[in-house]
Structure 1
Amino acid sequence: MTDDAPELRASDADRERVAEILRDALAEGRLDMAEFEERLEATYQARTYGELTPITRDLPAPGAVSLGKAPAEPGSWAARIVGGEGSSTGAFAVLGGFQRKGRWTVPRKFTCFAFWGGGELDLREADFADREVEIKCVAVMGGMQVVVPPGVEVVVRGVGIMGGFDHREEGVPGEPGAPRVVVTGFAFWGGVGVERKPTRAERERRRLERRQERLDRKAARRELHEGFREDIERAHRRMLDGHRELRRREDD
């Protein structure tokens, strides 16, 4: 993308590159959700380079170094595998519940326990301490839910005793460089669920894409109707011209 020819038409790939920069900026806290939504909507509505360029003018270019992190391509899984010890090593619920969600770092091994209670581990916005992390779930007359983002490989090795572990997300190939999440432990009169959900930014991107598709369809219908109207008007003018010519010949 360049400022030298702002009148050039932008491609879908150009718009997607800008959207990727915006998603990275949202994840890094450079944009809040309202700013992200406004800019993402402008991205999918942009038709030229001149309309796309200002959207990311105040954001780091792809390949830029973020403070406190090693260089990583924006949007890549490498940017989310940060090393270290993780935000916490475990969570417990007895006659209650726990939740881990939003921006947090999953350690190499995370242990959670629920007795007559439940918990949720949401990894969609999380960073990872290593390429492979283990989540050990012990559920006794309780339940837990592990939510992973698209692209992550999931392996379930838990054992259920009058209970069960959800294996539906196993066998889905991970994206290149994505972390591997291994779910272990056991469930006694309880259950551990594993599900794959898109991130909030991805849901918003899809919503805006669907909205843009509806706008494009409406514009196409308007263009088609306008074309029909012009054809009818031209046919009507030809018919009137024919009548006038016929009368002129009759008068002669």
Structure 2
Amino acid sequence: MTNLPEPVRPSGASHLRASDADRERIVKVLGEALADGRLDVNEHSERLDAVYEAKTMGELEPITYDLAATPGHPQPRPADRSANTPVVDPAGASESVDQMIAIFGGVERKGRWRLRRRSRAVAVFGGVDLDLSEATFDAPEVVIELFALFGGVDVSLPEGVVIRNEASGIMGGISVKTGDAPPSPDAPVVVIKGVAIFGGADFHPKKRKWFG
């Protein structure tokens, strides 16, 4: 059983490959729908999975079809891009996602634990606290998808890792501090995606260098 809306008639852009910018626009619409009660947490999580698995605009369009009719929530459109602009699919889009969900509560991960290729941190009136200083990284590049609604995500990083911030804030903020240590040649890349709505996410170094 799925909570996704029924497929819609293909549009003229359905065949186009979806970009990261296209996906992030859909993520924002879903976040607003969760905030005003049009989606519950399970529906929101299921649709987020569909967003990051989508490869074309035709796969993205149905995800917000039953939400876009609400005034103030127009249907997201594909980003303007020339035919020469490369589109890169997110690594591991079809792999399972390690979900950490804090709703009016908290989730904490620290010590020796496994950071999967894709992780999702959801904080709704709660907090997610992740300490990566002793974590084992599943891949050279890992993705943390965050969603903070009146909540916070705090991530401690070993110094020397590479951070790529692709997240955004709506009346909220994403703070990334990399520390003074230069990136290590064999250090992993941590890609931050998602959105903070009236909430925040803080990525900061912990006094431990990356040793591999």
- The two structures have a TM-score, normalised by structure 1, of 0.43
Structure 1 residue ranges without an equivalent (≥5):
1-84, 203-252
Instruction: Figure out how many residues of one structure are paired with residues of the other and give that number.
Output: 116
1:180 to 186, 189, 197: 189
SS in structure 2 opposite 1:130?
A: coil
Q: How much has 1:105 moved relative to structure 2?
A: 1.1
User: 2:122 and 2:190 mapped to 1: Cα distance?
Assistant: 18
- Within a 5 Å distance, the mapping from 1:175-214 to structure 2 comes to 175-199=184-208
Q: Which residue of 1 aligns with 2:178?
A: 169
User: 1:104 and 1:111 mapped to 2: Cα distance?
Assistant: 15
Q: How much has 1:167 moved relative to structure 2?
A: 2.9
Q: Does 1:128 align with 2:137?
A: yes
SS in structure 2 opposite 1:169?
A: coil
Higher relative contact order (CA 8 A, sep 6+): 2
- Within a 5 Å distance, the mapping from 1:62-211 to structure 2 comes to 89-169=98-178, 173-199=182-208
- What is the letter of the counterpart of residue 203 of structure 2? V
On the 8 A contact 1:156/1:170 being kept in 2, the answer is no
Structure (1 or 2) with the larger CA radius of gyration: 1
Q: How much has 1:171 moved relative to structure 2?
A: 10
- Structure 1 runs (4+) deviating above 4 angstroms are 170-173
User: 1:168 and 1:181 mapped to 2: Cα distance?
Assistant: 13
On the 8 A contact 1:154/1:171 being kept in 2, the answer is no
On the 8 A contact 2:177/2:205 being kept in 1, the answer is no
Distance 1:189 1:123, change over 3 A: same
SS in structure 2 opposite 1:112?
A: strand
Greater share of strand residues, 1 or 2? 2
Q: How much has 1:172 moved relative to structure 2?
A: 6.8
Between 1:107-116 and 1:162-171, the stretch displaced more is 162-171
Structure 2 residue ranges without an equivalent (≥5):
1-94
- Within a 5 Å distance, the mapping from 1:23-42 to structure 2 comes to none
Q: How much has 1:112 moved relative to structure 2?
A: 1.0
% identity of equivalent residues: 39
User: 1:147 and 1:157 mapped to 2: Cα distance?
Assistant: 18
- Within a 5 Å distance, the mapping from 1:49-60 to structure 2 comes to none
On the 8 A contact 2:176/2:204 being kept in 1, the answer is no
SS in structure 2 opposite 1:199?
A: strand
- What is the letter of the counterpart of residue 198 of structure 2? W
Greater share of helix residues, 1 or 2? 1
Q: How much has 1:174 moved relative to structure 2?
A: 1.6
User: 1:89 and 1:118 mapped to 2: Cα distance?
Assistant: 16
User: 2:122 and 2:130 mapped to 1: Cα distance?
Assistant: 12
